[in-house]
Amino acid sequence: MNWLTNFVRPKLRALVARKEAPENLWLKCPSCEQMLFHRDLEANQQVCNHCDHHLRMRPAARLAAVFDDGKHDIHPLPKTVLDPLKFRDRKRYTDRLKEAHAENGANAEALVVASGKLGGHDTVVGVCDFSFMGGSMGVAVGQGLLMAANLAVEAKAPLIVFSASGGARMQEAILSLMQMPRTTIAVQRVKEAGLPYIVVLTDPTTGGVTASFAMLGDIHIAEPGALIGFSGQRVIQDTIRETLPPGFQRAEYQFDHGMVDMIVHRHKMRETLIRMTDLLLKRPQTSSTPAAA
C-alpha cells in the first residue's frame, strides 16, 4: 500500500495534471486587444497581425532586423559616474538602477550602439531602449551618442538613431539636461563630416530627446502611430485650455504638419534606410541587397 501511495499515485497525478502555460507566451495587442502568440509576434517584428499596430521593439530585435544578415558589433557605452547627485525620491537612484539592470542586464542603459553592414556598407546605429527607465536620457546616453557620432566619423559611415524616450532623466537633474547640447554637438560632427544622420522616431519619442538629437536628422522617419512630441497632451491642453484635435502628436498628425518626412511600416524600414543612405551619399542604387536576419 505504501508503494502505491508513495510512488504510483504521485506519478499518475503528475501525468494527468494540467500544465499551466507561462504568462509570457501570449500578449494582448494594446490596440485591438487580440491575443498574440509571442513567437508569431517576434516573427512579425512586433507588429500585430490583426490590426497592424506597431508594438514597442527591443534593441536586440531592432538591430537584427536592420543589419545585413542581422550581423553587428555592440559597442559598450563609456563608463560614467553613477548617481552623481546622490538623488533620492521615493527610492534611491542607485536602487532604481539596480532594478533596471536586473530586468535588462548588468551593463544595460537606455541606449545601445552598434555597427555593421547595411546594404553592404558600414553603418552605425543607435537604438534607444524604452524598457530601461523609460528610455530617459542621462549622462550615459549623452556619452553614447557622442561615441556613436565619433564611430561614424571614423568609419565615414552614416549614423542612424532609433529614438524612444520619455525625456530627460530627472534623477540626474541638470546633468541630464546638459546632454541636450552635447548630443546636438555629436550630430553636428557627423554633418560636418558630410555623413548622413537619419532619425527613426518610434513610440514614444518625447521630452528632451525630441528637443535635441531626435529632431536634428537629415531625414525624419516615423513608425505608424508613434507618439511624437515634447510636452504631454494633458499638460498642453491644461495650458492652452483648448481641446486638442484627434490624433494630436501621433506620427500621422506630425506628418500632415511637416514635422515628419515620411511614415514607414516596420517591415519596409530596412529597405527604406538603405535607399535613403544611398541617396544621401550619392551611391548607385542596387536592386538586391543582403537580407536581414
**What ranges in 105-243 are assigned the alpha helix state H?**
139-155, 173-177, 179-192, 207-210, 233-240
Amino acid at 260: V
Q: Which helix (H) or strand (E) holds 72?
A: strand 72-75
Residue listed under C-alpha cell 520619455: 166
Q: Is 128 annotated as a binding residue?
A: no
CB-based burial label for 111 (10 Å; 0-12, 13-18, 19+):
buried
> Any idea what DSSP says for residue 83?
S
Backbone angles phi, psi at 129, to 5 degrees: -110, 105
Task: Give the position of cell 533596471.
Answer: 100
Residue 73 C-alpha cell reads as 558589433
Question: Is 51 a known ligand-binding residue?
Answer: yes
The closest of 247, 117, 116, 226 to 163, measured between CA atoms, is: 226
d(Cα 236, Cα 29) in Å, to the nearest integer? 28
Q: Which residues are annotated as a binding site?
A: 29, 32, 48, 51
User: From the annotation, which residues make up the binding site for Zn(2+)?
Assistant: 29, 32, 48, 51
